[in-house]
Amino acid sequence: MAGIDVSGLSISFPIYHGDSRTLKKSMANAVSGMRRSGPAAHLQEDARQRVIVSVLNDISFRLNPGDRLGLIGGNGAGKTTLLRALAGIYEPVVGRVRVSGTMGTLLDTNLGMNPELTGAENVRLRCLFFGISRTKTAQILRDVEDFAELGAFLDMPVKTYSSGMVVRLAFGLATAIAPQVLLMDEWFMAGDATFIHKARARLESLVEQAEILVVSSHQPEIMRQWCTRLIWLENGVIRMDGAPEAVLDAYLSA
Ligand SMILES: Nc1ncnc2c1ncn2[C@@H]1O[C@H](COP(=O)(O)OP(=O)(O)OP(=O)(O)O)[C@@H](O)[C@H]1O
């Protein structure tokens, strides 16, 4: 059964810089004089006076099949970092992340996509990676072809695609293999209106199969329509966690 269990998760990045004295001084000033909500609130020094960016701090939540979680928050709040931690790209510094079930990620268009290979070759390669049979691979290829509407470009190297075309291919492929847990950053909404309409219809059908969705977006409409729960992140901590309307009302009026 699909599930996500995040407990006391903290993530920070050390800053390794050749000449960090000026940086440290400005950070020390920022840290000592900062407001909690100020843009430098997550810059700190560790016990060894190294500068660290504390991106997520003590994050906990659980998700069960059918949950559709939206992450909202201003620029640099930690939404993408949280998605990357769920995907296993970042290891927790403190706390733990447990994800059960097969996972599909729409976090970075180039992730797992070889630009030298054609769209079709990338589809076949992904199927090979997941151990999918030839017959099923042929079905998936047809499905991606129908969805992405790339025409002859499906047999062209991905490096010749526009960014919107890469989004269509990546989204089509990630959703064709029907993961139990789908993690999605908002970049895919860069597609044109027709694509967003199709993407939504496809996502709805995935979520109907009681899978888990975690999506980050700056668009309130997307959050209202797609999510059953919202977490508002601010400077790496959970400011509010609850029903979409309540969290959006508080977030938009803050
Ligand atoms: N590898 C890294 N090294 C240092 N700092 C990082 C790293 N990755 C992210 N950060 C910092 O962590 C903070 C949170 O970044 P993140 O991309 O998670 O924010 P976000 O909420 O997704 O923002 P946006 O809405 O602008 O995409 C930012 O201040 C960013 O500069």
Longest CA pairwise span in the chain (Å): 62
- Is the CB of 73 inside a 6 Å radius of any atom of ligand 1? yes
All residues at 6 or more sequence positions from 106 whose CB lies less than 8 Å from its CB, including other chains:
170, 171, 174, 182, 183, 184, 185, 187, 188
The pLDDT of residue 251: 96
Count the helices and strands in the chain (H runs, E runs).
8, 10
Q: Which of 79-88, 178-187, 211-220, 228-237 has the lowest mean pLDDT?
A: 178-187
Q: What is the mean pLDDT of residues 59-76?
A: 94
Domain positions in the chain are 3-102+217-253
Instruction: Count Cα atoms within 13 angstroms, Cβ side, for 27.
Output: 17
Name the most confidently modeled range: 1-15, 17-31, 99-113.
1-15
**Separation of alpha carbons 99 and 167, rounded Å:** 25
Angle between helices 163-176 and 119-129 (to 10 degrees): 30
Q: Which residue is it, tokens 């620029």?
A: 75
**Alpha helices in the chain, H assignment, sequence order:** 21-33, 79-86, 119-129, 134-148, 163-176, 193-207, 220-226, 244-253
Ligand 1 binding pocket mutation candidate from 16, 43, 55 (most atoms within 8 A of CB) = 55
Copy the structure tokens of residue 215. 């999506």
**Under 8 Å CB-to-CB from 44, ≥6 apart: which residues?**
12, 27, 31, 51, 52, 53, 54
In this prediction the ipTM stands at 0.95
Residue 80 Cβ contacting ligand 1 at under 6 Å:
yes
Q: Nearest Cα to 67, choosing from 174, 183, 172? A: 183
Residues 241, 230 contacting (CB under 8 angstroms): yes
Per-residue confidence (pLDDT) for residue 18, from 0 to 100: 47
pLDDT tens-digit map of 140-195 = 999 999 999 999 999 999 999 998 888 889 888 888 887 889 898 876 665 566 77
Do residues 106 and 182 make contact, with C-beta atoms less than 8 angstroms apart? yes
**Residue 162 Cβ contacting ligand 1 at under 6 Å:** no
Mean pLDDT computed over 105-125: 86
Q: Which pLDDT belongs to residue 24?
A: 58
C-beta separation of 118 from 154 below 8 A: yes
Fold adopted by 3-102+217-253: Rossmann fold (3.40.50)
Q: What per-residue confidence (pLDDT) applies to 205?
A: 74
Ligand 1 pocket, 75 CB below 6 A?
yes
